Amino acid sequence: MQDPDHIILRALLQAGDNFVSGSQLAERLGISRVGIWARLDKLKAEGFEFEAVRNKGYRLLQEPPQLHGKFLEAAVAEVYGSINLRFLDAIDSTNSEAERLLALGESTPLVIVSGQQTKGRGRMGRQWHSPPQGNLYASFAWRPGLPYPRMQNITVWLGVCVCQYLREQWQIPAGLKWPNDILIHGKKVAGMLTEARIDADQTRELVFGIGVNIAGKTKDWPQEVAAVASSLEAHLPGRADMHTLAAGIIGTVLNAYSVFRHGDISTELVKQWQECDLLYEKIITAEVNGKPITGQAVGLHPSGGLRLQLPTGNQVILHSGEVHIGTA
Ligand code: BTN
């Protein structure tokens, strides 16, 4: 039996600007109309606003400013279908939680979302600033059972799909900085962190984490973060629709993984990357084995590596690391 709040919230979400009949909801849930009213009252205390009109029913006027677990679950169910989604008010890191749950034998696909992170992790051992309100912190766990070479381009593939989603559905001019940053007008709005448990013959477990600044207020961020980061909301005409955007991103990642798992995405990846590639034809410097190497970025290799044209005329492919625009 599904959670009654989930059923109520999903019905309100599906209705959009229309009303949902209180008696029909009551009948569906096998509770009284007063029971429905009491549940809506509890949801009001959690940040929702509803309009109630006699003989018409209820409609949703406003959703909470911070992610609400059951509403997010309902929104994901709308765009993707039912999924094992765990929403936590706070956790050290959603990637760490996903790893712990995988170790306990939790079924996959699994999505962990947290309202905030106390030890959010970024690439290269960095910290990921993870305050409450306005941001999405999500991790996805799978047991791919595929050989490691087949998994090499998974992060860039998921990144390109999220980037295209933002461009196509929201007209947000998002771009990608290899390997896994999403930027808008030079400022970072999302970062991705992929971690895997690999055995001799296959990738047993895969955790893909994404942090997205949806509507976080730059004035509340530490100075060093505010200088280089932005939010999706800053590039939208009005207030960001937190739950729709978060659910859209989650659904996009889940769909992108299915496509990846069942076929060869390399050609499509290289083509789509071109449309989002912020480094294309730029002179960049990368750290390789602790040494800087400078060249011109000339697109993505099907393996997910960055193709770099060296001044010597040779081309190299970078498979990991950190790059910056400019010379050393
Ligand atoms: C980076 O740009 O350095 C990658 C940042 C990845 C942050 C996300 S937030 C959700 C998930 N949990 C974590 O601890 N990290 C990732």
pLDDT digits (tens, 9 = 90+) for 94-110: 999 999 999 999 999 99
Percent of the chain with pLDDT over 70: 100
Take atom 10 of ligand 1 and give the residue whose Cα is closest: 137
The Å distance, Cα 293 to ligand 1 centre, comes to 26
The Å distance, Cα 173 to ligand 1 centre, comes to 22
Task: Please check whether residue 210 is in contact with residue 192, taking contact to mean a CB–CB distance below 8 angstroms.
Answer: yes
pLDDT tens for each residue of the chain, 328 residues long: 578 999 999 999 999 999 999 999 999 999 999 999 999 999 999 999 999 999 999 999 999 989 999 999 999 999 999 999 999 999 999 999 999 999 999 999 999 999 999 999 999 899 999 999 899 999 999 999 999 889 999 999 999 999 999 999 999 999 999 999 999 999 999 999 999 999 988 999 999 999 999 998 877 788 888 889 999 999 999 888 999 999 999 999 999 999 999 999 999 999 999 999 999 999 999 988 788 999 999 999 999 999 999 999 999 999 988 899 988 7
The DSSP secondary-structure symbol of 133 reads S
Domain 4-62: assigned CATH number: 1.10.10.10
Q: Do domains 69-276 and 283-325 have the same CATH topology?
A: no
- Cβ of 194 less than 6 Å from ligand 1: no
Rounded Cα gap, residues 48 and 60, in angstroms = 8
- Cβ of 93 less than 6 Å from ligand 1: yes
Which atom of ligand 1 lies closest to the CA of 117? 14
Task: Please check whether residue 122 is in contact with residue 128, taking contact to mean a CB–CB distance below 8 angstroms.
Answer: yes
Provide the token pair at 133: 């309100």
The Å distance, Cα 128 to ligand 1 centre, comes to 6
- CATH 1.10.3720.10 assigned to domain 69-276? The reply is no
The Å distance, Cα 268 to ligand 1 centre, comes to 26
User: Do strands 323-325 and 306-309 pair parallel, antiparallel, or not at all (unpaired)?
Assistant: unpaired
Q: List helix spans (H) across 204-303.
A: 223-226, 242-262, 266-276
Among 210, 225, 320, 323, residue to substitute to test ligand 1 (most atoms within 8 Å of Cβ)? 210
- Cβ of 128 less than 6 Å from ligand 1: yes
Task: Please check whether residue 71 is in contact with residue 7, taking contact to mean a CB–CB distance below 8 angstroms.
Answer: no
Domain 283-325: assigned CATH number: 2.30.30.100
3-state DSSP assignment of residue 6: helix
Q: Which residues contact 139 (CB under 8 A, 6 or more apart)?
A: 94, 95, 97, 98, 111, 112, 207, 208, 209, 210
The Å distance, Cα 81 to ligand 1 centre, comes to 25
The Å distance, Cα 61 to ligand 1 centre, comes to 32
- In the chain, where the domains are located: 4-62, 69-276, 283-325
Please report the pLDDT score of residue 1 as a whole number: 57
- Cβ of 121 less than 6 Å from ligand 1: yes
pLDDT digits (tens, 9 = 90+) for 44-88: 999 999 999 999 999 999 999 899 999 999 999 999 999 999 999
Among 100, 127, 128, residue to substitute to test ligand 1 (most atoms within 8 Å of Cβ)? 128
